[in-house]
């Protein structure tokens, strides 16, 4: 009898715990002006006009929407464990439009953050799985980690001075400037994008379809120049390795192989040119 009662009691406790875990505050929509702190769990949250809000410990928005001149700051991870440390999503997805701003200082975007229509994102810490930038929006990355992909298109602008990005895909007249940080996977440039690499570390750079790529610093480990892309390398003391040669103009690189040289500050570098299509152009300029 006592065993049966204990089993019933455990079932009731488990049911209550599951119900408590499922409790979520109502969705919210904020407009006008004012400052708010997000410290509990919401399904959908919308910020408009000149609203400012900070997501702190315990706060979570599954789907966040920011518009107008509103500002959303992600300051902390959702949970803190004595042994594990800070963890957990601060938001799952986020979408910004208009002149709105999203700042990621710490915490985590579990799936995707989309910046549209002239919005601005400042990433100085934390984690984002996917970051998508559209329609003349701007992003500055000085720290933190984009674990899977950064995708840019429609005249968007990215400035990266630190942090880590898994993969970058640049499309449709977007512009990317890199002065620091680390791109650990593929950096693909397409559709008339413009890329200026002045520093940082790029593992694999792929250029195609009429892009303009200027390299004047950092480390580009592997280069793949395809179709009618144009890659210009600014430096000194260029040495083409086996399989490479400089044409009669002393500037155009032919073939594939290892290219070494120095940047203007005297830093030595080495680049493996893996693909160099006849229709592509790789040039070295002192």
Kindly state whether residues 276 and 189 are assigned to the same domain: yes
Kindly state whether residues 159 and 101 are assigned to the same domain: no
User: Which pLDDT score is estimated for 24?
Assistant: 64
Residue pLDDT, tens place only, 242-260: 999 999 888 999 999 999 9
Q: Which pairing describes strands 257-262 and 268-276: parallel, antiparallel, or unpaired?
A: antiparallel
Kindly state whether residues 171 and 261 are assigned to the same domain: yes
User: Which pLDDT score is estimated for 171?
Assistant: 87
Give how many domains the chain has, as a whole number.
Answer: 2
Kindly state whether residues 60 and 105 are assigned to the same domain: yes
Residue 165: CB atoms within 10 A of its CB come to 27
Instruction: Kindly tell me if the per-residue pLDDT of 8 is higher than 50.
Output: no
Residue 170 resides in a domain = yes
Kindly state whether residues 193 and 253 are assigned to the same domain: yes
Q: Give the residue, 142 or 209, on which the prediction is more confident.
A: 142
Provide the pLDDT confidence category of residue 23 given band limits of 50, 70 and 90. Answer: low
Instruction: Kindly tell me if the per-residue pLDDT of 3 is higher than 50.
Output: no
Q: Do 38 and 61 touch, CB atoms closer than 8 A?
A: yes
Residue 9 resides in a domain = no
| DSSP-assigned beta bridge partners for residue 124 | none
Long-range residue pairs from 148-152, CB within 8 A, at least 24 positions apart, any chain = 152/176, 152/193
Last residue of a domain, one of 143, 177, 194: 143
Last residue of a domain, one of 143, 170, 186: 143
Kindly state whether residues 120 and 238 are assigned to the same domain: no
Residue 18 resides in a domain = no
Separation in Å, CA 63 to CA 44, 66, 102, 147: 5, 10, 14, 19
Residue pLDDT, tens place only, 73-90: 999 999 999 999 999 999
The pLDDT of 15-38, averaged and rounded, is: 73
User: Which pLDDT score is estimated for 208?
Assistant: 85
User: Which pLDDT score is estimated for 26?
Assistant: 82
Residue 198 resides in a domain = yes
Kindly state whether residues 286 and 157 are assigned to the same domain: yes
Whose tokens are 């006592």? That residue is: 2
Question: Encoding tokens for residue 201?
Answer: 């570390």
Residue 129 resides in a domain = no
Range of the domain at 245: 153-286
Distance CA(204)–CA(213), nearest Å, equals 14
Kindly state whether residues 120 and 205 are assigned to the same domain: no
User: Which pLDDT score is estimated for 6?
Assistant: 45
Residue pLDDT, tens place only, 154-198: 899 999 999 999 999 998 889 999 999 999 999 999 888 999 999
User: Which pLDDT score is estimated for 172?
Assistant: 83
Report residue 105: phi and psi, to 5°.
-100, -35
Question: Within 13 Å of residue 235, how many CA atoms lie on the same side as its CB?
Answer: 28
């Amino acid at each position: 009898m006592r065993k049966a009662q204990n089993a019933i009691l455990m079932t009731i406790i488990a049911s209550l715990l599951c119900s408590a875990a499922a409790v979520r505050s109502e969705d919210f929509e904020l407009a006008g002006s004012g400052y708010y702190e997000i410290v509990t769990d919401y399904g959908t949250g919308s910020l408009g006009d000149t609203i400012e809000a900070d997501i702190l410990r315990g706060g979570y928005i599954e789907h966040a929407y920011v518009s107008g001149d509103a500002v959303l700051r992600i300051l902390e991870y959702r949970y803190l464990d004595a042994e594990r440390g800070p963890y957990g999503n601060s938001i799952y997805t986020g979408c910004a439009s208009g002149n709105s701003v999203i700042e990621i200082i710490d915490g985590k975007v579990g799936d995707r953050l989309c910046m549209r229509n002239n919005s601005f994102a400042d990433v100085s810490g934390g984690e984002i799985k996917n970051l998508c930038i559209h329609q003349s929006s701007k992003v500055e990355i000085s720290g933190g980690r984009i674990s899977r992909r950064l995708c840019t298109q429609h005249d968007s602008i990215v400035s990266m001075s630190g942090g880590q990005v898994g993969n970058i895909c640049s499309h449709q007249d977007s512009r990317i400037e890199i002065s620091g940080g680390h791109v650990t996977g593929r950096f693909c440039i397409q559709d008339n994008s413009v890329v200026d690499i002045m520093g940082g570390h790029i593992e694999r750079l792929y250029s195609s379809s009429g892009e303009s790529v200027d390299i004047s610093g950092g480390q580009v480990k592997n280069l793949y120049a395809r179709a009618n892309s144009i890659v210009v390398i600014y430096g000194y003391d260029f040495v083409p390795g086996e399989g490479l040669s400089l044409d009669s103009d002393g500037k155009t690189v032919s073939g594939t192989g290892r290219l070494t040289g120095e940047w203007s500050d005297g830093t030595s570098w080495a680049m493996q040119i893996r693909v160099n299509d006849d229709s592509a152009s790789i040039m070295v300029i002192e």
